[in-house]
Amino acid sequence: MRSRLSTKEQLLEVAVEEFARNGFDKTSIRSIAKAASASPALLIHYFSTKDQLVSEAIIKTLGEWIGVEKTALLENPESRVSDWVSLVKSGETKLQFFRQVLLANNEYTNRLFEFALLETKEMLRTGIAAGILNKVSDIDTAASLLTSQALANLVFLPQLEASLGGPLVDEEVAAKLMRTQQELMPLMINTIKEKASK
């Protein structure tokens, strides 16, 4: 296993990789243990159940993703595109994991949406406080729309990549997507502001 991480973190990392590759139905505690060169009893010791393992994997993975994304948001505008390209390239497994969570269409999906919504609200608050984003009259609605859009992109990931002309991890595709998102964000925020004021 990966020695730089604690045993629990290593098990979570392997679990995310297995869920991303095989989905939730085809991934068992036993298959995760085998991939981690550990015993199923060790996973039960740390997580009790597969459900608990999935919940912790969602929280940890989303937290890592949002943390890096938030850092990229607050960076110098000239480096945002390259930072985001690096994030996508290094986070391919995380994106596939989130996609599997969404495709499961069950309680895991609800948990991911709830956690993502909280993180999006915080990111909006941070961006507004830093002067990067316009103020909005209804941050809850803005966060709901942005969270839904981001997660929908993952559900339709194969279609999105086909329409963009390549995988998101391709540097040109990722850069094109990030630039367009940067152009659309102020328009989306302004539209939300206009509708809320009517």
For 108-134, the pLDDT digits (tens) are 999 999 999 998 898 889 888 888 777
Question: Alpha-carbon distance 152 to 86, whole Å?
Answer: 21
**Contact (CB, 8 A) for 99 and 157:** yes
In a domain, 35, yes or no: no
**Contact (CB, 8 A) for 109 and 23:** no
Q: How confident is the model at residue 185 (pLDDT cuts 50, 70, 90)?
A: low
**Structural domain boundaries enclosing 112:** 58-197
Q: What is the pLDDT of residue 183?
A: 77
Q: What share of the chain is helix, strand, coil (3-state, %, to 5)?
A: 80, 0, 20
Q: How confident is the model at residue 194 (pLDDT cuts 50, 70, 90)?
A: very low
Q: What is the pLDDT of residue 89?
A: 75
Sequence-ordered strand ranges (E) for the chain: none
Q: How confident is the model at residue 3 (pLDDT cuts 50, 70, 90)?
A: low
What is the dihedral sign for C-alpha 8, 9, 14, 19?
A: positive
Nearest 5°: the CA angle 126, 98, 103 is 130
Q: Read off the DSSP letter of residue 26.
A: T
In a domain, 12, yes or no: no
In a domain, 192, yes or no: yes
The mean pLDDT value for 170-197 works out to 65
Q: What is the pLDDT of residue 66?
A: 79
In a domain, 112, yes or no: yes
pLDDT tens by residue, 11-35: 999 999 999 999 998 999 999 999 9
> Dihedral (C-alpha) 43, 47, 51, 56: value to the nearest 10 degrees?
-110
Nearest to 71 by CA among 85, 55, 84, 56: 84
Q: What is the mean pLDDT of the chain?
A: 84
In a domain, 104, yes or no: yes
Token readout for 57 is: 């994997």
Question: Alpha-carbon distance 113 to 107, whole Å?
Answer: 10
Q: What is the pLDDT of residue 189?
A: 47
In a domain, 46, yes or no: no
In a domain, 39, yes or no: no
**Contact (CB, 8 A) for 152 and 159:** no
Sequence-ordered strand ranges (E) for 54-126: none
In a domain, 29, yes or no: no
pLDDT tens by residue, 69-80: 776 666 656 666
Q: What is the pLDDT of residue 17?
A: 96
- Quote the number of domains for the chain: 1
Question: Alpha-carbon distance 76 to 123, whole Å?
Answer: 16
Nearest to 17 by CA among 6, 3, 31: 31
Q: Would you say residue 39 has pLDDT above 90?
A: yes
pTM of the model: 0.79
